[in-house]
Amino acid sequence: MIQQVEEVLNKLRPFLQRDGGDCELVDVEDGIVKLRLMGACGSCPSSTITLKAGIERALVEEVPGIVEVEQVF
Domain spans in the chain, listed from the N-terminal domain onward: 2-71
Residue 39, beta-bridge partner list: 21
Entry pTM: 0.90
CATH placement of domain 2-71: 3.30.300.130
Q: Do the Cβ atoms of 68 and 32 come closer than 8 Å? A: yes
Q: Which of 54, 23, 21, 55 is nearest to 40 (CA)?
A: 21
Task: Output the pLDDT for position 30.
Answer: 96
Q: Which of 41, 33, 34 is nearest to 60 (CA)?
A: 33
- CA distances (Å), origin 28, targets 6, 42, 58, 61, 65: 11, 20, 15, 16, 10
Question: Using 50, 70 and 90 to split pLDDT, how confident is the model at 46?
Answer: confident
Percentage of the chain lying above the pLDDT 70 cut = 100
